[in-house]
Structure 1
Amino acid sequence: MGISPSLVRSFVKGTKRLQYIYRSPGPHEPTICYIPGFQSQCMESNKCHHVYDLAVSENAGFFGWDHANGGSVLEWWSDGNELLEKYTKGPLVLVGPSMGTWIALLLAGRSPVKERIQSIVGVGGGVDFTERWLQEVPVEHREDPKYIWKRPSSYAECGYYAIPVHTLLDSRACLVMGSPLDIRVPVYLIHGQADSDVPPQNAILLKQYLEEHSIEKVYLKLIEDGDHRLSRPQDMDVISSIILCILK
């Protein structure tokens, strides 16, 4: 089935226009929020359409949005919080692939909407990746916010992402590892053992760190041959099974 283009809306914030998708929940059902990863858009994501279809089948709500171009994790987290405050009501279940896991943790730990969040599902979580990327920038440009770093990427049509160093520097205010957190909901992490973008060891370390800073259980499901995207039918079946457990 997938998401109908008629569900796409726009939200203007200053000079930015953000696109979001909303489907209202049935009575007593939560809204599943899909938080895309870096340089990812909801309407182009098979996982997003899959999660939307699951929400519809369970009479749950759905909310997803695209991050503004050229911002930072600090800005994208702020945008997400404002969108959820403005356009959703009731309990929320956050589903965050890659960078979306990082933003989900920030929303659950440091945002006004945290009281409405029931659970987090992180898929190939790329938490604090900007700090790792900063170490790949040529040393002489690491403190130059105007420098544009061309990071090689198999996901970009041109072969690289053009990343302003200010994106990496501004994201430092949002680093999770080593920072105080107040996570009060269960966290479910799904990670591919063949993930070459975010090594599975990072997911193990994140689980350990969250267990030290959370009053709820942290789960980690490792998929033996899974890559970073976890977009195969069998991967999405794992995602669905966890979301269904949360909804039941």
Structure 2
Amino acid sequence: MTQFLEGPQGRRIAYNRIEGQGPGVVFLGGFRSDMQGTKALWLEDWARARGRAFLRFDYSGHGESSGMFEEGAIGDWFADAMAAIRGLTEGRQVLVGSSMGGWIGLLLARTMPERLAGLVTVAAAPDFTERGYWAGFSAAERAALLERGRVEQPSDYGDAPYVITRRLIEDGRDHLVLDQPLPLPFPVRFLQGTEDADVPMSWALDLLAHGKGEDMRLVLVKGADHRFSTPDCLALIGDALDEVLARAG
């Protein structure tokens, strides 16, 4: 049953949690996704079958949480994630970050490493507001963003376009992770599909090269797309979690 946490600045964060052994697992969803997605629900079943504590939640402006998506930014969603982990989990956690959730997971690793037992990312998209949107905008789109405060981008995941705001871009610059040292002092597994149309495979290689840790691996899956939700891909996420948990001790 969905419950609610009073989050930062009065934002109401919707979540589902199951009790179990630790380290717990926390799922961090992607940009404009929610905790009812295929990976989130599959992971909950995975955790329940193993008696493992598990948390999934919606960032503000996503799913059942309060707020408007277009008013949010990376810093807000990072703060929501911190509040959820601090308020709803105990002890060390293994984060599973999907797409933007991978970026959020890296920010959490930088900010609260003592609470992390490991990290698994799926098509991680660190710094995507800058490396993806801003870098890909035409001169006209950049001008429109600066003048009007927003531009619309087509979406492959529904009829409604994505509204990209000036605040999202500027706030993203305050939360970049690839422009400074990125210590990852715990087991880390990056998963990436070679046919991902949203996150280039080169980004996964950049992240592997940039992160500093003794136990980091990248798994490339030929033919997998950004959703990474086929039965085989979901099984790979479970395998990565099993490996990280075994090594986390």
Would the TM-score normalized by the shorter structure come out above 0.5?
A: yes
Are the equivalent residues in 2 in contact too, given 1:193–1:225 (CA < 8 A)? yes
Amino acid at match of 2:35: C
Write the distance in 2 (CA, Å) between the matches of 1:168 and 1:155.
Answer: 21
Report deviation, 1:65: 1.2
Q: 1:91 to 1:155 in 2, by over 3 A?
A: same
State the alpha-carbon separation in 1 of the partners of residues 234 and 220 from structure 2. 13
Q: 2:216 aligns with which of 215, 218, 221?
A: 218
CA distance in 1, matches of 2:126, 2:188: 14
Of 12-21 and 194-203, the range deviating more from structure 2? 12-21
CA contact (8 A) 1:73 1:171 kept: yes
Residue by residue, what CA displacement relative to the aligned partner does 1:42-72 show, whole Å, maximum 9, x if unpaired? 11x1111111111111111001111112311
Matching residue within 43, 58, 79 for 1:51: 43
How far, CA to CA, are the matches of 2:26 and 2:135 in structure 1?
A: 32
Equivalent AA in structure 2 for residue 154 of structure 1: D
| Counterpart in the other structure of 2:133 | 133
Give the match for residue 229 of structure 1. 227
Identity %, equivalent residues:
29
Aligned to 1:206: 207
Tell me how many residue pairs correspond in the alignment: 232
1:142 is displaced (CA, Å) by: 4.4
Q: Deviation digits for residues 5-29 of structure 1, max 9, x if unmatched?
A: x1x1112333422111111223xx2
Unaligned runs of 5+ in 2: 62-70
The answer (yes or no) to whether the contact 2:117–2:187 under 8 Å persists in 1 is yes
Q: CA deviation at 1:247?
A: 2.7
Query: Deviation per CA, 1:110-149, whole angstroms, max 9, x where unpaired?
Result: 23xx2021110000111110002023341313445x5221
2-structure distance, mates of 1:23, 1:41: 17
Is 1:80 paired with 2:73? no
Rounded to whole Å, the distance in 2 between the matches of 1:119 and 1:15 is 30
Give, in whole Å, the separation in 1 of the partners of 2:202 and 2:183.
Answer: 23
TM-score, scaled to structure 2: 0.88
Distance, in Å, in 1 between the alignment partners of 2:55 and 2:10 is 22
